């Protein structure tokens, strides 16, 4: 009866209902804590074909790790354990830069003038040679969570969720910043300081659009504290708020970065939408904001809810992502998030529902398309009996 009601509501609302899709999930590694725990950023394909990622906690000093895993064998190698003077909580997807070195950020550690430290920028080679490059200061921005991207000028670009300036139009602790980092000099240049009226708390990764401008999101601020989509040049000019989520049907509080498909940009908003479950949206360069899919339209969260993950476009053109909660069957208390596939027309398929053990739980990061055509991801928890567990690395093979 419950299933009949859900389908009737979906039909009446004109929403494409998810249906089963051929998929196969393989757990490559279950973390133990000694080799790290709480992985919340997507994997990066290395020059050797291995997948590289970070753990926020665990490792030798319980300050997080950098690891590499062989997708063919599941062999995991811990490349670096963060020590007391190197940063804390490595957050944000690793960037494989044009020099063949990985660059990353930590949320905390470094400058003691910030509570828990303002965050750091580091580099690490595929063999594990590590160097801290920069300790952030409050006026540059603090709490680095979006990782870095590389620009055509060789500089690296990122966001800081907090800091930048005191006050921030009545908001203490700063509203965050967009910055550029020059590896050769280890210098940071602030490109934009958020004022709250133009958004605050940028969380996700920046996108370099094909027009040469940087595109990003703020998870809060502006009208209704609902967040924004913005753009800015690599020189810090041409800043523009493209859209505010307040009053739209495209969700609110976007914590994921954007991807570009054709002439539009796609992202996920964590909240609002239907039943406070968030949405996947698209936006044009002119700020035309549209909901592509709203999660939990029928109150059962069968297709997931509250996505924090950056989307990825698969080989067949569809979008793939994760949602932290929900799944199916809807009456199973162990359901703990999903991997979904979404067409550009808004048709969604649930590829996998996580059940805690043995396959992980509550995925908060996006997927990575590897050269073998499979999708790879991590979960921050789950994987072993007994909550919460330490998370997993998994592979998903989906029929196109």
Does 171 have pLDDT greater than 70?
no
pTM listed for this prediction: 0.93
Stretch 259-281: mean pLDDT: 97
Q: Quote helix, strand, coil % in the chain, to nearest 5.
A: 5, 40, 55
Asked if 232 contacts 239 with a C-beta cutoff of 8 angstroms, the reply is: yes
pLDDT 10s digits, 342-383: 999 999 999 999 999 999 999 999 999 999 999 999 999 999
| Confidence (pLDDT) at 386 | 79
Any idea which residue has 């190698």 for tokens?
77
Sketch the domain layout of the chain as residue ranges: 24-398
Q: Give CATH superfamily name and number for 24-398.
A: TolB, C-terminal domain (2.120.10.30)
Q: What value, to the nearest 5°, has the Cα angle with vertex 395 and ends 392 and 399?
A: 150
**The residue count for the chain:** 400
| Confidence (pLDDT) at 166 | 67
pLDDT grade, residue 17 (50/70/90)? very low
CA atoms of 121 and 330, how far apart (whole Å): 42
pLDDT grade, residue 21 (50/70/90)? very low
Q: What one-character DSSP code corresponds to residue 366?
A: -
Q: Which of 137, 150, 177 is nearest to 161 (CA)?
A: 177
| Confidence (pLDDT) at 285 | 96
CA atoms of 94 and 123, how far apart (whole Å): 9
pLDDT 10s digits, 39-95: 999 999 999 999 999 999 999 999 999 999 999 999 999 999 999 889 999 999 999
CA atoms of 277 and 94, how far apart (whole Å): 28
**Strand 228-232 vs strand 207-208: parallel, antiparallel, or unpaired?**
unpaired
pLDDT grade, residue 114 (50/70/90)? confident
CA–chain centroid gap for 283, Å, is: 18
Tell me how far CA of residue 312 lies from CA of 48, 279, 295, 333, in angstroms.
22, 15, 18, 29
| Confidence (pLDDT) at 113 | 81
Q: How many CB atoms lie within 10 A of CB 20?
A: 9
């Amino acid at each position: 009866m419950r299933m009949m009601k859900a389908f009737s509501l979906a039909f009446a609302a004109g929403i494409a209902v998810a249906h089963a899709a051929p998929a196969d999930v393989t757990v490559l590694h279950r973390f133990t804590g000694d080799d790290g725990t709480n992985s919340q950023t997507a994997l990066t394909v290395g020059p050797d074909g291995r997948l590289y990622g970070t753990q926020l906690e665990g490792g030798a000093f319980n300050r997080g790790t950098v690891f590499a895993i062989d997708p063919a064998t599941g062999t995991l190698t811990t490349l670096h354990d963060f020590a007391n003077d190197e940063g804390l909580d490595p957050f944000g997807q690793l960037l494989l830069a044009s020099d063949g070195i990985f660059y990353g950020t930590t949320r905390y550690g470094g400058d003691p003038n910030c509570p828990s430290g303002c965050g750091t920028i580091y580099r690490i080679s595929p063999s594990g040679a590590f160097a801290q490059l920069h300790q952030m200061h409050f006026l540059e921005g603090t709490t680095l969570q979006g990782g870095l991207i590389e620009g055509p000028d060789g500089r690296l670009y990122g966001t800081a969720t907090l800091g930048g300036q005191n006050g921030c139009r009545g908001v203490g602790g700063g509203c965050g910043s967009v910055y550029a980092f020059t590896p050769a000099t280890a210098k940071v240049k602030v490109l934009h300081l958020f004022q709250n009226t133009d958004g605050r708390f940028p969380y996700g990764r920046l996108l370099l659009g094909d027009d040469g401008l940087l595109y990003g999101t703020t998870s809060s601020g502006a009208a209704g504290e609902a967040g924004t989509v913005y753009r800015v040049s690599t020189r810090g000019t041409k800043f523009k708020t493209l859209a505010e989520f307040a009053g739209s049907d495209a969700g609110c509080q976007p914590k994921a970065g954007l991807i570009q498909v054709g002439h539009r940009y796609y992202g996920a908003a964590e909240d609002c939408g239907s039943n406070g479950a968030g949405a996947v949206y698209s936006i044009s360069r002119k700020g035309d904001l549209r909901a592509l899919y709203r999660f939990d339209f029928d109150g059962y969260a069968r297709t997931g809810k509250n996505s924090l993950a950056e989307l990825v476009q698969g080989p067949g053109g569809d979008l793939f992502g994760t949602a932290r909660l929900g799944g199916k069957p809807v009456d199973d208390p162990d359901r703990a998030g999903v991997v979904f596939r979404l067409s550009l027309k808004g048709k969604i398929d649930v590829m996998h529902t996580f059940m805690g053990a043995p396959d992980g739980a509550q995925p908060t990061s996006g997927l990575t398309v590897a050269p073998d055509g499979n999708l790879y991801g991590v979960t921050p928890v789950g994987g072993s009996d007994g909550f919460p567990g330490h998370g997993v690395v998994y592979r998903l093979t989906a029929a196109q």
